[in-house]
Amino acid sequence: MPTTVTGSTRSNSTQNTQRTEAQTPTAPAATTPPPQTTEAAPVEARQPASQGTVAASRRVAASENTGLTQRLSGALVPAPTLDAVRNGTAKIARGQQGDSVADLQRKLNEAGATPPLTADGQFGPKTEAAVARYQVSRGLPDTGVLGQQTLKAIDENRAAVQPQVETPPSQPTRGTTGARAVDTSRMTEAQKYDHFKGLIEENGGQFKSGPNERNLLSMRTPTNTNANGRQGVYDDKTVMLWTDSRGGKHVKEYRSNTEPSARYEGRMGEDVNGDGRRDLGRVRTGYYEFNTGTSTTLGNVLRPTRSMTVDRDTNHDGLFNDNASGSAGQSMLFHKGGNNMTGSAGCQTMPPAEYNRFWKDLNSGGRPGNIGYTLING
C-alpha cells in the first residue's frame, strides 16, 4: 500500500502496515446495561420586546438599509436569508452583509448581547464575537458563524446555560483541526447532545440520527509519546451520542487516549522515510466509520471500515509535526488499555473500567451497526 512522506513516495508491504497494535491487555466480554433515561432541554418562553425597543430597532433598520445597495458593491458580499440558514442550506459569517445580518444583530441584542450591537447589516468582528458569546452561553460550538443550530436557539429564545461574558472570546479554531473547550457540567443531557452534535457537524463529521445509531467524538490533547515514562496518558475525551426509539437524547463521556506511547517505539509502525527505523503513527483528525468486532489478544474492539492515513513521527521526537504520513490499513482500533499505560501504538484506548462502561453503552440498544467517529484537536 503506498505511503507518502513530504517530497517522496515509497511502497511498504501490507504486512508492515498491519503491525501497529500487538501488546495490550485482553478485555472481558460486555454485559447488558440498564435502560437509559432521557432529559429534555428546557425552553424558556420568549419575552415580548418593549415598544421602545421595537421602535428603536425599526429606526435603526430604516436608517441603515438606506445605503445597503451601495455597501453590497464593496468588499463585503451579500448574506443569505435567515430562512436559508433555518433550512440548513446556508450559513452567515464574517464578511457578509444585508438585511438578514441586521435582523441577526437585532435578535442578538434582544437576547442580551453585551455590548449591544449596532444593527448596520455588516457582519464584522464585533458581530462574530457576539455570535460566539451567544453560542458559548447556550452550550453550542463557538464558531462565530450563524448556522442552523444557532439560529434555532435564537428563534426559540433558548435560556442561557451560563451568563454571557463582556470580554470577547479568543479567535475560535475552525475546520477539522479543533474546537475550544466548553464547560458542559451545567448542561442537561439534551443540551450536551446538541453541543457535541454541533461539534461533529462543524468539523466535517457525518452525524447518524437514526434510533440507536451511535456517534463518537474524540477531542485530542496533543501529547508527547514520551509522557508518563513512555507509557502514554489518558488525557483525551471521547463522547458517545445517540437517540433512542422514542427520540430521547443520550450522551456518555469517557476518559481516553488517541495517540501512541513511546513504549512501542521501534517495534511497531512503518519505516516511511527509509531510515531503517519504524515510525509510530496516530490517526489524523477527521471522520471515520467503525464496526464492532473481537480480537484474540485485545478482546472487544472497534475496527475501521476502510483504510486510514495516519501521521508519522519520522524524527522520533515524540511529536507528529514532521509532515509525514502513511497508510495504516485497518489496523487502528478502539480497544482496552491498561490502568497505568495506554497500551496504544496508535489506537484509541481507555482504562479497563472505562472501556467496559464504553462497550456496555455502545451495545445497550443492540448491535449498533456502522459507528460514526469524528476526531478533532480539542
The single residue listed with the C-alpha cell 495504516 is 328
Q: Residue range 312-330: average pLDDT?
A: 93
Is the confidence at residue 10, as pLDDT, over 70? no
Is the confidence at residue 57, as pLDDT, over 50? no
Q: What is the share, in percent, of the chain residues with pLDDT greater than 90?
A: 61
Q: Which pLDDT does position 91 carry in this prediction?
A: 95
Q: Residue range 342-369: average pLDDT?
A: 96
Q: Which residues, 6+ apart, have CB-to-CB distance to 330 below 8 Å? A: 303, 304, 305, 306, 307, 308
Compare 276 and 169 and report the one with higher pLDDT: 276
Predicted TM-score (pTM) of the model is 0.57
Kindly list the structural domains of the chain, giving each domain's residue range(s) and its CATH number in brackets, ordered by start: 12-32+188-377 (no CATH), 51-155 (1.10.101.10)
Distance CA 239, CA 249 (A): 13
Q: What is the share, in percent, of the chain residues with pLDDT greater than 70?
A: 75
What does pLDDT average to over the chain? 80
Distance CA 143, CA 122 (A): 18
The single residue listed with the C-alpha cell 504486512 is 15
Describe the chain by its helix, strand, coil percentages, rounded to 5.
25, 25, 50
Question: pLDDT digits over 134-180, tens only?
Answer: 988 888 887 889 999 999 999 998 887 644 444 333 333 333 445 55
Question: pLDDT digits over 296-320, tens only?
Answer: 999 999 999 999 999 999 999 999 9
Confidence of residue 181 (pLDDT cuts 50, 70, 90): low
- Give the ranges where the chain is alpha helix by DSSP (H): 14-17, 51-65, 68-72, 82-86, 99-110, 125-137, 148-155, 189-202, 227-230, 352-362
C-alpha cell, 45: 418562553
